[in-house]
């Protein structure tokens, strides 16, 4: 279910649950549109230490089949904490195109 569909299911007070409970995953809400800098991972420097994943405040890092981190760009807000914490300096922040 997309965000758009959720809003159409609930139009007036009577449609809403009594408590603000949602049964679809928050993954449906993309929260990264205002990012200014995006993290880019240089795989040749990455040691798969997972420190970036550990420090990401928004669960915006997952792993590929080989164990390398992948930025989930629908959720990453570009805070650069991963780049700051990355010991081998494998993450650089690149300005988004206008």
- Judged by the rule CB under 8 A, the positions of this chain that interact with another protein are 7, 10, 12-13, 16, 18-23, 25-26, 29
If the CB atoms of residues 16 and 70 are measured against another protein, the closer one turns out to be 16
Helix (H) or strand (E) holding 6, with range, is helix 3-9
Least separation in angstroms between CB 94 and another protein: 28
Least separation in angstroms between CB 63 and another protein: 22
Least separation in angstroms between CB 60 and another protein: 16
If the CB atoms of residues 28 and 92 are measured against another protein, the closer one turns out to be 28
Q: Which residue has the tokens 């590929």?
A: 64
Instruction: Work out the number of other CB atoms within 10 angstroms of the CB of residue 55.
Output: 14
Rg (CA), the chain: 17
**Cβ contact 48:88 at 8 Å:** no
C-alpha 18/C-alpha 38 separation (Å) is 39
If the CB atoms of residues 76 and 83 are measured against another protein, the closer one turns out to be 76
């Amino acid at each position: 279910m997309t965000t758009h569909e959720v809003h159409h299911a609930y139009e007036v007070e009577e449609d809403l649950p009594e408590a603000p409970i949602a049964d679809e995953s928050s993954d449906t809400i993309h929260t990264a549109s205002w990012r200014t800098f995006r993290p880019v991972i240089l795989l040749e420097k990455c040691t798969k230490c997972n420190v970036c994943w550990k420090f990401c405040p928004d669960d915006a890092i997952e792993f590929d089949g080989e164990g390398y981190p992948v930025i989930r760009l629908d959720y990453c807000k570009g805070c650069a904490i991963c780049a700051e914490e990355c010991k081998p300096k494998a993450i650089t922040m690149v300005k988004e195109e206008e």
